[in-house]
Amino acid sequence: MVGKKRNPELTSEQILTAATQEFAERGFGGARVDNIAARAGANKRMIYHYYGNKKQLFLAVLEAAYAEIRSHERELDLDHLEPTEAVRKLVAYTFTYFLEHPEFIRLLNNENLYDAVHIKSSKKIPKMHSPLVGQIEGVLARGQEAGIFRNGVDPVQLYISVAAVGYFYLSNASTLGTIFGRDLKTKNALKERLEHIEEVILGYLRKD
């Protein structure tokens, strides 16, 4: 009986998917290669063959996570939208992406505990300059020309602010919800939060 032929790309992808789940749930320190192998239906030897060691595997997970969000950002196409609508789309996209990819938040939270030591060793991530920065520059310029937006807005600072107000809410929803006695993950709560973020960002951008 002829055995099944191994598909290297599929095996590598299965390992990466399993590793993403393991690292997101347990963090770098708590994750175990044995667990990743079991999740992937592979053996430890295959993991070491494809990714070298646990640190390199964690870095591969982070690189894949950044590559995915950057690929989605390229699809926003803010250049053809009215400035205010473009900002609303940016805010909605960013908040929704974090909401639908909780593993991304968990991975970044964990990497920050290590002072981004793994990302600092990456040759790929620094080159993944956000395609949004150029698009945001264009949106700001159009808004300024139309007399809608204030002058002197740094696109990078704006991008960080848009990400921060959604990221903090979702990464701390459990503790904040307990403190304030609210379920911050209900459909209505998420809708209210998104509307709030839009008004905060647009309020900052509006020309006095």
Q: What is the 3-state secondary structure (H, E, C) of 75-135?
A: CCCHHHCCHHHHHHHHHHHHHHHHHHCHHHHHHHHHHHHCCCHHHHCCCCHHHCCCHHHHH
pLDDT tens figures, 96-112 = 999 999 999 999 999 99
- 80 and 37 in a common domain: no
For 9, the domain range is 1-52
Report pLDDT digits (tens) over 153-196.
Answer: 999 999 999 999 999 999 999 999 999 999 999 999 999 999 99
In a domain, 35, yes or no: yes
pLDDT for res 149: 97
Same domain, 79 and 7: no
* Cβ partners under 8 Å of residue 107, min gap 6: 20, 23, 24, 61, 62, 65
Q: Are 7 and 85 contained in the same domain?
A: no
Residue 32 sits in a domain whose CATH number is: 1.10.10.60
Is 201 found in the same domain as 164?
yes
Question: Is there a single domain that holds both residue 30 and residue 90?
Answer: no
CATH number of the structural domain spanning residue 151:
1.10.357.10
Could you read off the pLDDT of 35-75 as tens digits, one per residue?
A: 999 999 988 999 999 999 999 999 999 999 999 998 888 88
Q: Where are the strands (E) in the chain, listed by range?
A: none
Is residue 1 located within the same domain as residue 94? no
Same domain, yes or no: 80 and 152: yes
This prediction has a pTM of 0.89
